[in-house]
Amino acid sequence: MPYKELSLDSLIVNPANDRHGELENETAAIAQLFASQELHMRSLAKDLVAKGEVFEPPLVFPEGDKFVVADGNRRTTCLKLLAKPRRAPTVDLQQFFGDLRKQWVGDFPETIECRVESDRDRVDDILFRRHTGVQGGIGQSTWNDRMKNNFVIRTGKSSGLNVADEIEKKLSASGMLPARKIPRSNMNRLLSSESLRNRLGISVRRGKLEFVRDEQAALEALSRVAADLSNRVITLDDIWDTESKSDYIDKLDREGVLPTVADKPAPGPRPLPPSSTPAPNPPKPSPPKPAAWPHLIPQIDYGVVWVARLQRHHQIWEELQFRLDLSEHPNAISVLLRVLLELSTDNYIKQAKLASVYDSDKLSRKVAKVADDMAAKGKIDRKYLGAITKLQQGEALVSVDTLNRYVHSPNFSVSPEHLKMLWGTLSDFVVLCLKA
């Protein structure tokens, strides 16, 4: 574990920090740290100035001629902003860090001692022990459940089922295991997300690995992945974040490696009818009906891979799926649904490079053009295209005009049932836009 003095300018605040999930760059990461815990960040900055030193060296790993901060991002951020207050995300924070900098006693440090680890698996092992409850790091900010989940999704490290072990057993039993040893940590990292596992034809349910596509087709795809990893065609650097994992799986898809929707698991044998009719059992009391899901987006996995560019989309999605109650927050939900539709549509336009869409196009026109492109590529059928096209009709109950009136009209009443109807129509479209 070498310790080195590194310049502040050579350190990158981690855009894939598990505190917030993957973001696009360092600037977004700094802004998110303040958006989620500004009071703590201010207190930490004051403490750094009062003590004049950093007691725990940040943990970093090299990336080109820079070093990404794996642990210690809050401390590093505060030092960077004390060095250059204008980098703070708001005018108020720029003033705050400018005033604090004047209180620093002596020369402000241009370098900071860091623990440098080149092995990224070792970096993740250190993070796992510090923040997931195995060994709490004294003086470090504790991760909540969401942060721990971000870590597990990114790395595949958890105390549950070892997916790589299960895959290796199944490949070995079918005679499809590569000759070279599979790097299990890389396999677990690649398949840490359920949506990516599903694309390879497998799922983890109730602590077991199951096939959700034809077993042979899924095994052939997994054998290819195992071979790529064991032969170092794919290395840790190639699957470090969600976007790079998706790029690799997309490449396999283009090559025809992935099992298709048509490759469904074969149904099990039907049980034989009983030889004699048994006496009917007395009727059991009906179980109580489960409470209705109180949020707009149902509690199901839509298979969206939340890459860095979808960071805001993901935040809005989670508010609509888990936080905002339809009966209590219909106005907030209606506005966020409209924002989610527009952001998702713009994502599809950018990813598909649609030349037919113009900056002057209204949202309804953008939606129609995107739907036409989806239909032309076989992503939606003609019937659903018709349903989306009708969204342009201002007089229709379910329409983009209705969403606009939710935002702009002072007299338009928001109905929870109407919002459910809108989501029922828009959900497939939004999901396809997010998956583009």
Q: Is the per-residue pLDDT at 51 higher than 80?
A: yes
DSSP per-residue codes, 11-60: EE--TT-TTT---SSHHHHHHHHHHHHHHHHHHHHHHHHHH-S-SSPPEE
Lowest mean pLDDT across 58-67, 128-137, 223-232, 254-263: 128-137
Higher-confidence residue: 91 or 137?
91
pTM confidence score? 0.60
Taking the alpha carbons of 247, 151, 432, 341 in that order, is the dihedral positive or negative? negative
Considering only residues 207 and 258, tell me which one the structure prediction assigns the higher pLDDT: 258
Q: Are strands 111-116 and 202-205 parallel, antiparallel or unpaired?
A: unpaired
Average of pLDDT values for 55-65? 92
Give the whole-angstrom CA distance, residue 11 versus residue 113.
Answer: 11
> In a 3-state reduction of DSSP, which class is residue 386?
helix
pLDDT at 238 over 70: yes
From 40-49, 146-155, 156-165, 376-385, the region with the lowest mean pLDDT? 146-155
* pLDDT tens figures, 81-105: 999 999 999 999 999 999 999 999 9
Would you kindly state where each structural domain of the chain is located, as residue ranges?
A: 3-144, 163-254, 308-434
Determine how β-strand 59-63 pairs with β-strand 111-116. Answer: parallel
146/336: higher pLDDT: 336
Pair 320, 296: CB distance under 8 Å = yes
Segments in 90-144 forming alpha helices (H): 91-102, 120-131
3-state secondary structure 168-189: HHHHHHCCCCCCCCCCHHHHHH
* Nearest one of 313, 380, 311, 370 to 340, comparing CA atoms: 313
- Over residues 59-80, the mean pLDDT reads 94
Give bridge partners of residue 211 from the DSSP assignment. Answer: 202
Residue 148: what pLDDT?
58
Whose tokens are 């095994």? That residue is 219
- Other Cβ atoms less than 10 A from the Cβ of 156: the count is 22
Judging by DSSP bridges, how do beta strands 11-12 and 111-116 pair with one another?
unpaired
